[in-house]
Amino acid sequence: MPAYWVARAKITDPVQYKKYTDLVPAIIAKHGGKVLARGGRYKINEGPHDFHRFVVIEFPTLEQGVACFESPEYQHAASFRRAGAGVVENVMVDGGDATT
C-alpha cells in the first residue's frame, strides 16, 4: 500500500533552506519515493496560516518512507534545514481508508 510523506514548512532563511532542498530529490528517489507536490500554489482552507510551503511525496510503503526520513543521507540534508532555515512539520501516513 502506498504511503505519503506530507510536510509543511515556514522558511526563514532561503539560502540555508536551498542547501537542504538541493540534496533531497536524489535521496527520495533512492528510497523509491516520488514527489507529487513540492512548493507551488496552495490555499489554506482552514487552520493556522503559519506555513507557506507544502510537500507531498509518495512511497511504495510506509516503511520505505520512514527509512528515507531516517537515512543518514536525509539526516545530513536535514541538518541544513534544522540549522535555522525554518520550521518544518513532517508526517508519514499510509494511503487508503483505514477506517473501513
Average pLDDT over residues 50-76: 97
Q: pTM of the prediction? A: 0.90
Predicted confidence band at 17 (pLDDT cuts at 50, 70, 90)?
A: very high
3-42+49-94 topology per CATH: Alpha-Beta Plaits (3.30.70)
The domain spans of the chain are: 3-42+49-94
Q: 56: number of CA atoms within 13 Å, CB side?
A: 11
What is the spatial distance between Cα 28 and Cα 59, in angstroms, rounded to a whole number? 9
Q: Residue 27's CB: how many other CB atoms inside 10 A?
A: 19
Confidence of residue 10 (pLDDT cuts 50, 70, 90): very high
Report how far residue 3's alpha carbon sits from residue 46's, in angstroms, rounded to the nearest whole number: 24
pLDDT, averaged across the chain: 94
